């Protein structure tokens, strides 16, 4: 299906006026969940070596509220799965653009214009595409159950993840020990843990239990300008 999806997105983009709609005003916010292969807490956030020599991870975005121009993105789930190069930090692998894989998965039957908008936005937020030797955007069946402290998600034949939030003895969420706010679209992180995290697609495969996860709120918009890894970025106070 990847070729069909790429054709679909190309057609959607081609239908938009180049001068006005390539970068329409956009805004997205909602719940973000990260799961990876590393031990708790994931050392990649401190720019240290991944626990097992590379970091394979999932970024799950639930858009509670969002738009791109007049296109509503409310309620959409977007999943990115990526795997970094072996024997180096994830930050170095991003610089070297030698990620093994970086795929974006969109809901099946998504409106073509919304698909084009979401792909453009989350390819930026999720480091997708240019940093990976292999990358694709695919429309798939996404089954998700998201609560305040747990995410269960399945993409049949590709991904299964059951991720829960850590809480202290009083029942309060346990803060993540490293600052997730070094990514400007994230709020403060909460430590989580995967009950299961399994992925099989495009020749890349893993199946692990009780590894690192993080929960956070995300928000970004075109008004905030380029991201730190993009040309023209200038540091700005967080909203």
pLDDT at residue 10 tops 70:
no
Q: pLDDT tens across 89-137, in order?
A: 999 999 999 999 999 999 999 999 999 999 999 999 988 778 899 999 9
- Cβ neighbors of 17 (< 8 A, separation 6 or more) are none
Is 1 strand, coil or helix? coil
* Interatomic CA distance for residues 54 and 209, integer angstroms: 17
Name the one residue in this structure whose structure tokens are 């937020």: 125
Whether the pLDDT of residue 4 is over 80: the answer is: no
Picking from 86, 203, 72, the residue whose alpha carbon sits closest to that of residue 135 is: 203
Q: Model-level pTM?
A: 0.88
User: What does the pLDDT read at residue 21?
Assistant: 40
Strand partners, 135: 102
11-61 pLDDT per residue, tens: 433 333 333 346 799 999 999 999 999 999 999 999 999 999 999 999 999
Task: Round to whole Å and give the CA distance between 141 and 59.
Answer: 17
Using DSSP's 3-state secondary structure scheme, residue 190 falls into strand
* Exposed/middle/buried for residue 118 (C-beta within 10 Å: 0-12, 13-18, 19+): buried
Is the confidence at residue 84, as pLDDT, over 90?
A: yes
Pairing of β 135-140 and β 101-107: parallel
pLDDT per residue as tens digits for the range 171-206 = 999 999 999 998 999 999 999 999 999 999 999 999
């Amino acid at each position: 299906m990847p070729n069909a999806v790429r054709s679909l997105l190309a057609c959607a983009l081609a239908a938009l006026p180049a001068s006005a709609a390539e970068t329409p005003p956009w805004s997205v916010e909602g719940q973000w969940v990260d799961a990876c292969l590393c031990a708790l807490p994931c050392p990649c956030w401190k720019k240290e070596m991944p626990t097992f020599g590379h970091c394979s991870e999932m970024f799950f975005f639930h858009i509670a509220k969002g738009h791109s121009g007049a296109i509503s993105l409310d309620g959409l789930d977007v999943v990115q799965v990526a795997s970094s190069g072996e024997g180096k930090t994830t930050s170095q692998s991003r610089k070297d653009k030698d990620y093994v894989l970086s795929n974006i998965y969109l809901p099946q039957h998504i409106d073509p214009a919304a698909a084009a908008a979401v792909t453009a936005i989350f390819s930026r937020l999720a480091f997708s595409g240019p940093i990976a030797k292999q990358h694709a955007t695919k429309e798939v069946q996404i089954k998700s159950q998201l609560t305040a402290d747990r995410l269960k998600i399945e993409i049949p034949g590709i991904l299964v993840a059951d991720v829960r939030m850590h809480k202290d003895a009083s029942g309060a969420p346990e803060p993540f020990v490293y600052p997730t706010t070094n990514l400007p679209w994230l709020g403060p992180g909460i430590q989580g843990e995967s009950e299961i995290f399994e992925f099989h697609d495009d020749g890349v495969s893993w199946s692990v239990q009780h590894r690192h996860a993080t929960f956070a709120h995300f928000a970004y918009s075109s008004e905030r300008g380029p991201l730190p890894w993009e040309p023209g970025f200038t540091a700005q106070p967080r909203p």
